[in-house]
A and B are shown apart, each in its own frame.
Chain A
């Protein structure tokens, strides 16, 4: 399964990438922000995107919003992975088209659970 990690922090991407590798997911694409992610998706469509909220250029919410306007990406599951934790923001993200929402610091177990919920586990 191809997974796209969208996060502006190199170290955070590295952490998530390792976590995924531990779970056996090695087909990982990285993007620095929403707009970068959209570019990457032109090259290869992932099944899942792990998306941070606070990013330069195009933040996570903007990314999901933009993504959901494109029919060809209907099948892409989006999981917000962020430390933004207010219920309002969770709601906003889900409303915009995110499929799941995980709070940082996220553990491997949480990600596994969420993948199950998304039918990707």
Chain B
């Protein structure tokens, strides 16, 4: 494409993003400066498209420009239908620009409806807020995905009541009164005094053009109108001082009045004379103004590709620096050491500097949200105000791109699902207008973005119900989770608490995609909610992807880096804990960490690293989190934390899911970066969840399945196959026959410093078994209120989580019923009933003891 066209497209897109926001701002608060800026942008697009021969673009922007010029001149007032019309025009402009990008031309697009609508608005007619549909219909011919996203907009039926237009003109102020008068040629303040007008300064600056144009008649022009301008350049300086709080409005009005009465000095001079300010303050303000302005012009545009290359090179430099620093440890040459220290410092600064060049304010993404919120509120009949805090917070450009869609979804979600309808809000004693608040800030090397609303909050009970209904969790699981844990269910695929499927948030990405996308860039998302008060989504993302903090561990001969984002804590088991801290449940090693079972993964086994854990006295466990699963990685040694430069793996190793990349350590050796999620998948830690969260089964199937979905421990007694509810199982143990002693006529074993009675299930259930005296006994340890009982069984097969129904309710003592599990008939045991029969009074005693 032609370079000029390319430049035009880039420039126009930059301006359009800003325009969306400004139009929405205008609707709420008609500001002449903003209006002038909007006008200028459209005017520029129109002008340039004329040069480039884009006729449709020119015609569309031309009617828009006419409308804007009427607004600017005060002939029309900004209303929501005009705003909608102008937004529709922006959409059309985007559609055309996209067509130019895609096809090199306007592709025969035309927007007769839009042009007609804008013309009618221009004539002061009412057209209703028919929204951006017209612009969108014309678009079908070309591919324009991103436009579609923008175009959610208002409902087709334009039933929105039009409000009485807010008055456009501002209340008279002393300043304006003064300026209307005869002006002076006070051009003493140099160009440096001119600064980009600010909102609140609006009334002073743009008045000139407007008044002169309005009062203008024919070709004659009053020379004063030009001189007026000079006053305004000067007057603006006054407003600067006013804004900074150095003078009061009355003082400025006085000064202007004095000018008006023939004083030819500048405002600053008059103010100094009146002792309103010191001359130092005048100079300061002037200086600030000129600095402000040069900041705008002293920037250059750089190709992102070049920045990427630079970043890579800096990464290499960091590695080389790390290696040099490693050398210095064995060097005694002081000048070499001093030089490497300097190299170290310079590299660090260079790294920070290059990273900075890639930084962009989050504002670039947030800019489009006012429009999103506006369109949404109109679409779903709500009222919302968008507040932003920390929009200058910067983060890496790549990351910014990556969080754009997830953030948009979260904002939409807040308006659509978070905020209540105005009626409900009033009923709850809240103002009808809801608030969606965006906040961004840095915290501990991460960027935190919060999206909060003051809506109804998320009802954990409802989520729990829904999760069970949809078969994402069993009733037991749901009941066993805390409210906080339950909230995370909303990030599972296929979950939605919305009572009715709304056409706004219900489409496109769901919360699961939000989570996946954010985690894809090494971030995390968390939800907090207070019922009736509102919901906050907290998104944490790393500052950059290229260089990350990591924990370096050793397994066998190899060193591995674990990204800090997935780290939870480090646990060391030694001495007594080393032996007893790791238990085996059905072949899976676990550690009890503060009352919860933490599955363990022996990395030396996974990587076949050659080191053995058999005779080890101490274990280092790195507790990590992947998705909703916490698990422990057992490593040989924990070395250090380090800033590592992420290098992608070669093609041959790419498919190995356990690794996310590689890095080069200070001594020049390569360390692989662990992909915690990949390891979890590899060893099957997430498998259970996968099957339960599967949501493609029909609703009937699911609700049927939910009826009796339980986890069972399967074992055998003689020829019989039995199941025991897993929640009744505390541990699985093996005892040798010689361990068994007799106490009070009952078999007991010494277990964990206590005496544990043994119950032979075969005796209690009258199932004949062949028992040989020299074989070890398989024992299921049942624990209730700190009293343990060992249930002796023949052979333990498996733990299953399955939907089954107890079909045959027998009257046999100790049997809940019979079910078909894994295609085989299985009796399910009622443990309490068995124990009450075998050891009457034991369990009640236990309750008594515990109390």
Contacts and interface: CB of A to CB of B under 8 A. Distances in A.
Interface of A: 8-12, 14-15, 18, 32, 34-36, 38-39, 54-58, 61-62, 65-66, 69, 82-83, 87-88, 91-92, 95-96, 104-106
Nearest to A32: B297
B11 A11 contact: yes
Interface residues of B, number: 40
A57 B4 contact: no
Nearest to A64: B226
B46 to A, nearest CB: 7
Of A11, A35, A39, chain B has the most CB atoms within 10 Å of the CB of: A11
Contact of B219 (A11, A83, A87): A87
B48 A12 contact: yes
B44 interface: yes
A35 B5 CA distance: 27
A62 B231 CA distance: 11
A56 B39 CA distance: 11
A18 B226 contact: no
Contacts of A15: 4, 48, 51-52
Given A12-B44, A62-B194, 7 more contacts: A10-B11, A11-B11, A35-B293, A55-B40, A57-B196, A57-B293, A61-B229
A96 B185 CA distance: 13
B196 A56 contact: yes
Nearest to A81: B47
Given A8-B44, A92-B221, A62 B293 contact: no
B121 to A, nearest CB: 21
B124 interface: no
B230 interface: yes
B53 to A, nearest CB: 9
B37 interface: yes
B68 to A, nearest CB: 11
A31 B5 CA distance: 20
Given A55-B40, A61-B229, A92-B221, A104 B50 contact: yes
Kindly list the 4 A-B residue pairs having the minimum CB-CB distance in the complex, ordered from nearest. Answer: A11-B8, A105-B50, A38-B191, A11-B7
Contacts of B221: 88, 91-92, 95
9 contacts: A8-B44, A10-B11, A11-B4, A11-B11, A65-B230, A69-B187, A88-B218, A88-B219, A92-B226
Given A11-B7, A65-B230, A88 B48 contact: no
B223 interface: yes
B514 interface: no
Nearest to A12: B48
A83 B47 contact: yes
Interface of B: 3-5, 7-8, 10-12, 37, 39-40, 43-44, 46-48, 50-52, 187, 191-192, 194-196, 213, 216, 218-219, 221, 223, 225-226, 229-230, 233, 293-294, 296-297
Given A8-B40, A11-B4, A104-B50, A65 B229 contact: yes
Contacts of B11: 9-11
A32 B194 CA distance: 14
Given A14-B7, A92-B226, A95-B226, A104 B191 contact: no
A6 to B, nearest CB: 12
Given A15-B51, A18-B4, A54 B44 contact: yes
A9 B233 contact: no
A69 B39 CA distance: 29
Nearest to B14: A10
B502 to A, nearest CB: 40
Most chain-B CB neighbours within 10 Å: which of A56, A61, A82?
A: A56
A66 B7 contact: no
Contacts of B195: 57
Contacts of B47: 9, 12, 82-83, 104-105
A65 B231 CA distance: 12
Contacts of B229: 61-62, 65
A40 B230 CA distance: 21
A56 B292 CA distance: 14
A83 B226 contact: no
Given A54-B43, A57-B196, A58-B191, A14 B4 contact: yes
A71 to B, nearest CB: 12
Contact of A57 (B43, B187, B194, B213): B194
Nearest to B37: A56
Contact of A66 (B39, B44, B191, B293): B191
Chain A interface mostly: helix
A70 to B, nearest CB: 9
Nearest to A7: B44
Contacts of A57: 194-196, 293
Given A14-B4, A15-B4, A54-B43, A65 B51 contact: no
A9 B51 CA distance: 13
Contacts, number: 96
A65 B297 CA distance: 22
A92 B218 CA distance: 12
Contacts of A32: 296-297
A82 to B, nearest CB: 8
Contacts of B187: 65-66, 69
Nearest to A68: B187
Given A35-B191, A58-B194, A92-B226, A11 B233 contact: no
Nearest to B9: A11
Given A11-B4, A83-B43, A88 B196 contact: no
A10 B191 contact: no
- Max count, chain A CB within 10 A of own CB: residue among B3, B223, B297: B297
Contact of A54 (B8, B39, B48, B216): B39
Given A69-B187, A104-B50, A10 B196 contact: no
Contacts of B44: 8-9, 12, 54
B191 A14 contact: no
A10 B297 CA distance: 13
A9 B48 contact: yes
A104 B48 CA distance: 8
Nearest to A11: B8
Nearest to A93: B226
B3 A14 contact: yes
A58 B193 CA distance: 11
Contacts of A87: 219
A34 B216 CA distance: 24
B43 to A, nearest CB: 5
Contacts of B3: 14
B218 to A, nearest CB: 7
Contacts of B230: 65
A73 to B, nearest CB: 12
Contacts of A95: 221, 223, 226
B215 to A, nearest CB: 11
B287 to A, nearest CB: 15
A74 to B, nearest CB: 16
A105 B40 contact: no
A54 B226 contact: no
Contacts of B8: 11
Contacts of B196: 56-57
B51 A105 contact: yes
B199 to A, nearest CB: 14
A9 B4 CA distance: 11
B303 to A, nearest CB: 15
B104 to A, nearest CB: 16
Nearest to B213: A88
Nearest to B44: A9
B162 to A, nearest CB: 31
Contacts of A36: 293, 297
Contacts of A106: 51
Nearest to B218: A88
Contacts of A88: 213, 216, 218-219, 221
Contacts of B10: 10
Nearest to A55: B40
A92 B51 CA distance: 25
B538 to A, nearest CB: 37
A114 B213 CA distance: 27
